[in-house]
Amino acid sequence: MEIFKLLQELDGKALAQLLAPMSSECQLALMLYTLVSGNAELAKKHALWGSKVLIGSFGRLFGDVYGACCDVSSEGFKLVLLKLYYRHI
């Protein structure tokens, strides 16, 4: 149910950004882009979406990012982002 609430809260542009990625790499890139753009709330939604639709370690890591999101000065948040990034390379 949380996922449906998430989708209902978004405007058209944010919804397209959330649903467009076809891979976890794209999901990560868009999440990082929203963070750099200053939209921490949308970045948190990207993390939640990734945790629900991706399987295995990627879904778990996106869930960790969602749990720590989105204080960019927090060492814990930086660490989970780094883990997610390194899992992709």
DSSP code of residue 37: T
Residue 58's nearest CA partner among 73, 75, 70, 46 is 46
What does the pLDDT look like over 36-86, one tens digit per residue? 999 898 999 889 889 988 888 889 999 999 999 888 888 999 999 999 999
For the entire predicted model, the pTM comes to 0.85
